A and B are shown apart, each in its own frame.
Chain A
Amino acid sequence: MKTTLKTFAILLIIAISIFTGCKKDTDSPVAEPPPPVNESEIMTTFRLNFTDSAGFAPSVAAQFRDPDGDGGNPPVQFDTVKLSANTTYLAYITILDETKTPADTISKEIKEEANDHLFFFTPGAGINETITILDLDTNPTPLPLGLQTKWKTGSASSGTTHIVLRHQAGVKNGSYTPGETDIDITFQTKIQ
């Protein structure tokens, strides 16, 4: 019995030492999580800048800001787009990742990958505006992109403007259907 126990103990020690000797543990306690700012891309801010093409009406800006990204704290800023009546504005879109310091300009990357992206602008019921895309991608037969647009306002009215960015990697054909949605924002809009 005694020898049995002894052999048993020896075997156990051998088994455990084989294991511990071979494998260096990489899982030491998880005291330090990875830094909060990581390499993943987060869209936090969507900005619209309007300038009157005729130079009369003052420039206008409107933005959606959710600096901590999806969830967590709710968006801190969600402006109403206030435009002057009967004016033609040139608008450009800026998209930022403000979780990074300095903020990362994602709209630049979208411009570089213009062939995979397409914006859609849909005025809601009752609002007197027409929106046309000005910029094009670099396809042999260029298709619209939508970072730069022309907004033509009519008489005073209020409603919404629905803006969608479709990500259409390799499948962009100018229509809405292919791909999936990267951005989907509805701005309250007032023409005064």
Chain B
Amino acid sequence: MKKTLSIFFLLLNALLSISQCDLTLQGKVIDHHDRQPLEFATIFIKESGKGAITDSLGYYVISGLCPGTYTITCVHIGCDSISELITITADQTKNFYPEHHLHELGLVNIVSEKVPEKTVQPSYEMKGRELDEQRGESLGQALKTITGVNTIQTGGNVSKPVIHGMHSNRILILNNGIRQEGQQWGSEHAPEIDPFIANKLTVIKGANSVRYGSDAIAGVILVEPNKLRDSAGVGAEVNLVGMSNGRSGTASAMLEQNFKKIPALSWRLQGTLKQSGATHTPTYYLKNTGMKEYNFSAAAGWKKEKYGAEIFYSQFNTTLGIFAGAHIGNVSDLYDAINRTEPLEKGEFTYSIDRPYQHIEHELFKAKAFVLTGKAGKLNIIYARQYNLRNEFSKDKPLNDSLAALNKPELQFEITSHSADLTWEHNYIKHFTGMIGVSGMTQGNTYSGRYFIPNYRNYSGGIYWIEKYSRNKFQLEAGIRYDYRWLRIYKYEGKVIVSPIYNYENVSGTLTAVYKASKKVSFNFNAGSAWRPPAVNELYSDGIHHGSATFEIGDKTLKPEKAYNFIAGMNYHSEKLHAEVELYHNIIDDYINLQPQIPATVTIHGSFPTFVYTQSDATFTGLDAQLSYYIIPQLLITGKASVLRAFNKTTNDWLIQMPSDRFSGEITYNFKKAKKISESYITLNAEYTNKQWRVPANSDYLSPPKAYTLINLEMGTTVHLGTQTITIGIGCNNLLNTSYRNYMNRFRYYSDEMGRNITLRLKIPINYSPKTKSTEK
């Protein structure tokens, strides 16, 4: 049947096709509720009359398509049919998620929409089951399973994502499309984002300043919420997560609605509560490692075919205990701590959080609108305001009783940012699609308490243009951007305010080529540049960095850092084998890093090794690879490798604090669908992290910890109770309760990492669609 059909379509194609009509649309049809692939679903293109029927894995391919905009309909018995308007300019993947309604056939409102322009640069999306497995973890921890992505930690509660060895100001995080603007310069400042907001996390590796602006040196992380509901009815989702280590509990809920009578209007509310007590290593509790967090967001949208607007507000609040054993006064304290096999102060289990701790708040307000500019394209405008508050409380209150009674943070930073973006995306014109945009931002930063960085205000603006050319098997994307930044510092020197002004500007470019050799194999090559102006701490910090017991001194004369990044990749995708290999080489001119300085700084607390922010030329070269193979349809084996060599060309030595090579292997068994359960699977994972051998000599108090292997177990199932489903997941990290220390954790001097952790997750989606008498055909 399939063969006949395809021959038929081939003939039809030959008759109808004009030149360059060889694009392919492919994808999967998956049940909206139980996520099972749907066989015998029909995919039909209204305009061309082409179509296909899904195979036993829910997979379909329609080839021989000319570029253009099509109405594509997906029909499956017992499901509402889905129609969507899709612009095809290159080979494209489109998945459909029809809803099964055995008793009722509801009317689905179809809202046509241009598919948002995605970069063709290599990226990795984490969603569905993969994201579900990370529920309850922080953003930094959740992304760790992606090749080339790591975390830098300050104890168990503070973790930041690391891409290709770089973090903080060298990674850009877009929270719901907005550049996250907090105090991201510090390695102990975790991203202030509730991962439950997102239903998809995307990591774009490589330099990408053209689209996203400064700081996108190592990559970009997109935290993307689901689109607002566009079919009438009420939807909700409840997520509950419990973890044994720290006895933590997380509850997150989402409620959304689209009005039947006012189909343009939708809204969503979402909130998360989380609390954890002291965590433990295989042999002892880590004192004062509890945390609590409460977050919420609200969104409302008005969407018509030709225009729409959306507002979004979110708040993130957290209080994090900082491991008490990591508090030291000077270098000899640090050596004493290193020489102990276990921390001196061992705690017991408690939920209470004492000094030292951090309290962080982050607010985001966003207003967004779009309008279709005739047939030519789409105009988008986005305004956002962010407010970030960071309070750090030291271990000891001030000695003075009246000061102590105020219980003020020893360090406080407040940063407020306003940004506006205007973009115009143009539709397909003779193989080209593209966008042009301008963006601007202003930011004010103030501190109180102990001095660490000065107050400042900055204004920045950028203008960019990106075009994508798609023809036959080639896709080519090129872009250019100009950025300008004005920065003014306000600082007391003695009793006088000094307020120097800094100006920075940069031109960046990007070029990406994708060649689809066949349906299974594609190659990509990306050359991109990025920049970042020096951060204020790099210009002006001057003080003891507690925790690392070093004295850090900024340099007012630093120049912007520039990155030139090259990535070559290959993708192979067949029914049984899926492989992705990426080689990268990142050249960074004027890489800002801390270099030791002699003599040490003499203070009343003793002498401290001193480091000065210095610029050198650096290279980051590496390989990310992932290979998956279905031995039998139920049994999947996956191997991953992340390898990095980071070198300082100026000092002719390795760079410090770089993730070591990491390899992991896992085996997953997917059970066949049973009567009341589906999507059942079990995964056993082994992860090997090598010792970091490549470190500069005499730059650390302690040589990097030894290599370790962790065994993790993950299993899940979806239970069907009538029409209601519940997805249950059980995970166990560090199954063997291995004691180890991680080079990427700043607290490796003081304590082991967390021991075994058993996680239980429940996900309960609720959907209510109003009954209708008419059915769509």
Contact with B along A81-106 (1 / 0, CB 8 A): 00000000000000000000000101
**Inter-chain contact A8/B367, CB cutoff 8 Å:** no
Q: Is the interface of B mostly helix, strand, loop or mixed?
A: strand
Instruction: Give CA–CA (A8, B369) in the complex, Å.
Output: 8
Given contacts A39-B408, A184-B330, A71 and B542 within 8 Å (CB-CB): yes
Give the interface centre of A45, A171, A184 by most chain B CB atoms within 10 Å.
A184
Any chain A CB within 8 A of the CB of B36?
no
**Inter-chain contact A4/B371, CB cutoff 8 Å:** yes
Residues on A with beta carbons closer than 8 Å to the beta carbon of B410: 40
Given contacts A32-B490, A39-B408, A15 and B604 within 8 Å (CB-CB): no
**Inter-chain contact A181/B332, CB cutoff 8 Å:** yes
Residues on B with beta carbons closer than 8 Å to the beta carbon of A29: 444, 457
Contact with B along A14-46 (1 / 0, CB 8 A): 011011000101111111111110111101111
**Inter-chain contact A183/B309, CB cutoff 8 Å:** no
Instruction: Give CA–CA (A46, B604) in the complex, Å.
Output: 8
**Inter-chain contact B307/A70, CB cutoff 8 Å:** no
Q: Which of A11, A36, A177 contacts B344 (CB 8 A)?
A: A177
Residues on A with beta carbons closer than 8 Å to the beta carbon of B544: 70-71
**Smallest CB separation, B494 vs chain A (Å):** 8
Given contacts A39-B398, A70-B601, A34 and B311 within 8 Å (CB-CB): no
Which residues B373-411 have CB closer than 8 A to chain A?
374, 381, 383, 385, 387, 395-396, 398-401, 403, 406, 408, 410
Instruction: Give CA–CA (A47, B112) in the complex, Å.
Output: 78
**Inter-chain contact A30/B333, CB cutoff 8 Å:** no
Instruction: Give CA–CA (A75, B607) in the complex, Å.
Output: 12
**Inter-chain contact B330/A181, CB cutoff 8 Å:** yes
Given contacts A70-B544, A104-B400, A30 and B455 within 8 Å (CB-CB): yes
**Inter-chain contact A16/B367, CB cutoff 8 Å:** yes
**Inter-chain contact A106/B603, CB cutoff 8 Å:** no
Counting chain A residues whose Cβ lies within 8 A of the other chain, the interface size class is 35 or more
**Smallest CB separation, A174 vs chain B (Å):** 15
Instruction: Give CA–CA (A30, B445) in the complex, Å.
Output: 7
Any chain A CB within 8 A of the CB of B605?
yes
Among B125-133, B446-454, B462-470, the stretch in contact with A = B446-454
Any chain A CB within 8 A of the CB of B456?
yes
Any chain B CB within 8 A of the CB of A48?
no
**Inter-chain contact A15/B369, CB cutoff 8 Å:** yes
Residues on B with beta carbons closer than 8 Å to the beta carbon of A180: 327-329, 333, 395
Any chain A CB within 8 A of the CB of B495?
yes
Instruction: Give CA–CA (A23, B306) in the complex, Å.
Output: 30
**Inter-chain contact B383/A33, CB cutoff 8 Å:** no
**Smallest CB separation, A73 vs chain B (Å):** 10
**Smallest CB separation, A24 vs chain B (Å):** 12
**Smallest CB separation, A12 vs chain B (Å):** 5
Any chain A CB within 8 A of the CB of B620?
no
Q: Which of A19, A32, A184 contacts B367 (CB 8 A)?
A: A19
Residues on A with beta carbons closer than 8 Å to the beta carbon of B517: none
Which residues A160-181 have CB closer than 8 A to chain B?
167, 169, 171, 177-178, 180-181
**Inter-chain contact B328/A113, CB cutoff 8 Å:** no
Any chain A CB within 8 A of the CB of B646?
no
Instruction: Give CA–CA (A178, B287) in the complex, Å.
Output: 14
Any chain B CB within 8 A of the CB of A182?
yes
**21 interchain pairs, CB-CB under 8 A:** A1-B306, A8-B369, A12-B367, A15-B311, A23-B365, A26-B416, A27-B387, A30-B445, A36-B492, A38-B448, A41-B399, A70-B543, A71-B544, A71-B603, A75-B603, A104-B400, A109-B400, A109-B401, A169-B396, A181-B328, A181-B329
